[in-house]
Amino acid sequence: MTQLAVREDETMHIVVLTGGIGGARFLLGVRRAARALDAQVTAIVNIGDDLTMHGLRICPDLDSVLYTLGGGSDPGRGWGRDGETWAVMAELAAYSAEPAWFNLGDRDIATHLRRMELLAAGHRLSEVTEILCRRWQPGIRLLPASDDPVETHVLVDVPQPVEAPGIVEAPEAVGATGAVGATGAATQPSGTGDRLIHFQEWWIRYKADLPPRRFDFVGADEASPAPGVLEAIRRADAILLAPSNPVVSLGPILAIPGIRKELDQARAPITGVSPIIAGSPVRGMADRCLAALGIECSAAGVGAMLGGRGHGGILDRWLVDPVDGETLVEGAEVIARPLWMTDEVVTSKIVLDAMGIPNE
């Protein structure tokens, strides 16, 4: 690669829409590819998983990127900090503090404390993220999709809601089904109740085992893109969708009207990387999310969900694994190449292929 100085206006700009741990690992490859190209990277990160608990504002997807790209993530668990300890959480349990189902490591808590104090001081989430990046030096620009809260909630069926352990039914939620009254549980043991819970509660507490009926990106309609998001998309030479969960990682980003509109108008090609190989999610529980929307868990199903540009969707290109080589997406070019992100070098080649850049 050239060592010549590249003029500012000749620098290649890459934008990645991402969320989850798979997205963070994909960014390792993007960063590596960008270094080879002298390109700049902006990651627009999902905030739908964000939540407040124990008074702390927690941004799991932003933190996964910080820790993974900053060299501070736990390699075994895949989430959270390396060398993590759990003293605070054990103490919170001794205080019977709820929720008790969300794992908060001591090192991780320091990040949340820092974020919370900066937010309380009046900084916006994008500014807080920039400050946290001073420590982690991720080597890319990290932007939350929005400074406004957008939280993913899941409408679930709760069997026998009144008797379900640990679940407090809001009266209006029970009433919404019209099937279970105040004494319904005792007299109608097979009755069901709707309950809208935070994505994290569904994901972590219930291990995605409660059948989801709907995902709500609460606040998305009114959310403004964070400062820099629209400019990054506008200026981009390549826009990539990480192989993240299309429903709950990419979904909340795409649900912000300003971002969706800017993507529709983007001059750069938009390339998606399938998170599904041979009908199974590479990581996580995308299958359960897709099922809730009636979408086939396949490269074709997710490709059709995201859609081709000019056909109501956003994809110009759709990268699928060779096992899914037959995939067709109307309005998008389908490219088959191995998609297993076995290490950073392999991932960077996926990224180069996604941008149509020849590599050995």
Residue of the chain from 12, 88, 285, 323 that contacts a copy of itself (CB under 8 A): 88
Q: Which CA distances in Å does 91 have to 79, 94, 204, 321?
A: 22, 5, 20, 46
CB of 200 to a copy of itself, least distance (A): 17
Q: Among residue numbers 10 through 49, which ones bind a copy of itself (CB under 8 A)?
A: none
Q: Is 62 in the site for a copy of itself (CB under 8 A)?
A: no
- Contact present, 303 and 315 (Cβ < 8 Å): yes
How is residue 196 annotated by DSSP? E
Q: Is 95 in the site for a copy of itself (CB under 8 A)?
A: yes
CA dist 86 and 221 (Å) reads 37
Identify which of residues 97 and 346 has a Cβ nearer to a copy of itself in the complex: 97
Q: Is 113 in the site for a copy of itself (CB under 8 A)?
A: yes
Identify which of residues 36 and 87 has a Cβ nearer to a copy of itself in the complex: 87
Q: Is 135 in the site for a copy of itself (CB under 8 A)?
A: yes
Q: Where are the strands (E) in 46-150, listed by range?
A: 51-53, 56-58, 141-144
Q: Is 92 in the site for a copy of itself (CB under 8 A)?
A: yes
> Across-strand partners of 270?
239
Strand order in the sheet with 192-198: 192-198, 151-159, 212-218
The residue count for binding a copy of itself (CB under 8 A) is: 28
CB of 65 to a copy of itself, least distance (A): 16
> Across-strand partners of 239?
15, 270
CA dist 91 and 106 (Å) reads 11
3-class SS of residue 251: helix
Compute and round to an integer the Cα radius of gyration of the chain. 21
Identify which of residues 58 and 223 has a Cβ nearer to a copy of itself in the complex: 58
Scanning 90-98, 270-278, 308-316, 317-325 for contacts with a copy of itself by CB under 8 A, the matching segment is 90-98
Residue of the chain from 36, 71, 77, 97 that contacts a copy of itself (CB under 8 A): 97
> In what helix (H) or strand (E) does residue 239 lie, and over which residues does it extend?
strand 238-241
Q: Is 124 in the site for a copy of itself (CB under 8 A)?
A: no
Residue of the chain from 25, 31, 107, 198 that contacts a copy of itself (CB under 8 A): 107
State the distance between the two ends of the chain, measured CA to CA, in whole angstroms: 13
Q: Is 106 in the site for a copy of itself (CB under 8 A)?
A: yes
Identify which of residues 88 and 335 has a Cβ nearer to a copy of itself in the complex: 88
Q: Which CA distances in Å does 270 have to 48, 176, 246, 322?
A: 22, 41, 15, 20
Q: Is 56 in the site for a copy of itself (CB under 8 A)?
A: yes
CB of 222 to a copy of itself, least distance (A): 24
Bridging pattern class, strands 51-53 and 56-58: antiparallel
Identify which of residues 74 and 344 has a Cβ nearer to a copy of itself in the complex: 74
Q: Applying CB under 8 A, which residues contact a copy of itself?
A: 54-56, 84-85, 87-92, 94-97, 106-107, 109-111, 113-114, 116-117, 120, 132, 134-135
